[in-house]
Amino acid sequence: IVSLLKNGVSPRASVTGPMAQVVLSSTQYLSNEDLDAMAQFLKELP
């Protein structure tokens, strides 16, 4: 998840469409600590 939010790609996936714009405009600039927190939050969703 962190790789997708930071770079838009991971070993298993890549972002496209509106999510690509989110990465380009926003999440690529977040600190690693913030990305880790976001990933943890997403993993805990039901």
For the segment 7-16, the average pLDDT, to the nearest whole number, is 96
Please, what sign has the CA dihedral across residues 29, 38, 34, 9? negative
pTM score, two decimals?
A: 0.84
What is the rounded CA–CA span in Å between residue 11 and residue 20?
A: 16
For the segment 14-20, the average pLDDT, to the nearest whole number, is 97
For the segment 23-45, the average pLDDT, to the nearest whole number, is 98
Cβ-based neighbours of 38, under 8 Å, separated by 6 or more: 1, 5, 27, 30
What is the rounded CA–CA span in Å between residue 9 and residue 1?
A: 9
Model pLDDT, residue 9: 97
Of 38, 17, 16, 14, which is closest to residue 27 (Cα–Cα)? 38
For the segment 19-26, the average pLDDT, to the nearest whole number, is 97
